[in-house]
Amino acid sequence: MNILITGCNGQLGNEMQLLEKENPQHTYFNTDVAELDITDREAILQFVNENHVDGIVNCAAYTAVDKAESNVELCDLLNRVAPGYLAEAVELRGGWLIQISTDYVFDGTNHTPYVESDPVCPNSVYGRTKLAGEQAAQQACSRTMIIRTAWLYSTFGNNFVKTMIRLGKEKSELGVIFDQIGTPTYARDLAVAIFEAINQGVNPGVYHFSNEGVISWYDFTKAIHRIAGITTCHVRPLHTSEYPTPAARPHYSVLDKTKIKQTYGLEIPYWEESLRECISQLLLTNES
C-alpha cells in the first residue's frame, strides 16, 4: 500500500517512521507542514491522487490545550477541517483513514473506564475540535478508524516525561496534580497498534488505546523520578484548584481498551514497563 503519514515531526509521527523500517512491504509518504499543508484542500487532493495513496494516518493536530482556548480558529482548522479534507481525498480513492483523537472528548466525570459508546461531552476548545474532527472524518470517509488516546509521551518532542525529568534535575521541589486520574501512553506502543491495524486491515469505527493500568499525574511523576534515578527533588501533591489552567482537564480519563485488543489481538504493555523503556532510551541518548 501507499500510505500517507501526516504530522511526521511529532511524537507519534516520529515513532511511526521508526516502525516503517519493520514494515517495508508498504510505501510511506512522511509529511509535515513543509511537505503538505493539510489545511489546503486542493493540495491534499492533488497529493493523494498523484501518489496513489491507499491510506492515511493523521498524526497531525493542534495539541496546545491551554492556548487553544484563545486560538479557536487555528485549533478548529487543524483538528476539525483538516481531517475532513484528508477523509474526503482518500474516500475518492476508496482508501482508509486512521484519525488520532483524544480522551478530552469526555468530561472526565466517569468513575469506571470509558468505553467507545459512552456519551461524549468535551469541556474545552481542544476537546470540542477533536470531537468535531472525528465526526468530519467519519462523515467524509466510510473507512475511518478513530483511535482515542491519552497522556501521550515519547523520546521525541516536548512531553510530560521529559519535562518532569528536566525539572526534577533543576528543582528541589515540585507540585504535581494528584486528583486527575488516567493512563499514560507511550507513543511507540500506539504506533505498534496502528501498524497492527494497517497490516490486519483497517476496521472502521471508534477505538480506545493507552497503556494498561491507572495512575495520577502525581504518582506518574514519582515513578518517572524513581526510574530516572532522581532523588534530590521533593514532589508534593496538588489539587487541581491549586493549579488553575485556561482549559478544563478531565478528572478521570481512563480508557477501556477491550475493543481494540479483541479486534486486533493486541497485548498492551503496563504503563510502568513502557515508561522504563522510554526513560532508558532517553538516558542512552541524553535527550532528557
Catalytic residues: 126
Q: 3-state SS string over 134-198?
A: HHHHHHHCCCEEEEEECCEECCCCCCHHHHHHHHHHHCCEEEEECCCEECCEEHHHHHHHHHHHH
DSSP 120: P
In the chain the first and final C-alpha atoms are separated, in Å, by 36
Burial of 232 (0-12, 13-18, 19+ CB in 10 A): exposed
3-class secondary structure, 107: coil
Query: 146, 206 in Cβ contact below 8 A?
Result: yes
- Contact criterion met (CB below 8 Å) for 247 and 181: no
Torsion angle in degrees (nearest 10) through CA of 203, 214, 127, 87: -20
Of 24, 13, 59, 22, which Cα lies nearest the Cα of 38?
59
d(CA 58, CA 136): 13
Beta carbons of 44 and 86 less than 8 angstroms apart = yes
Strands 215-216 and 181-182: antiparallel
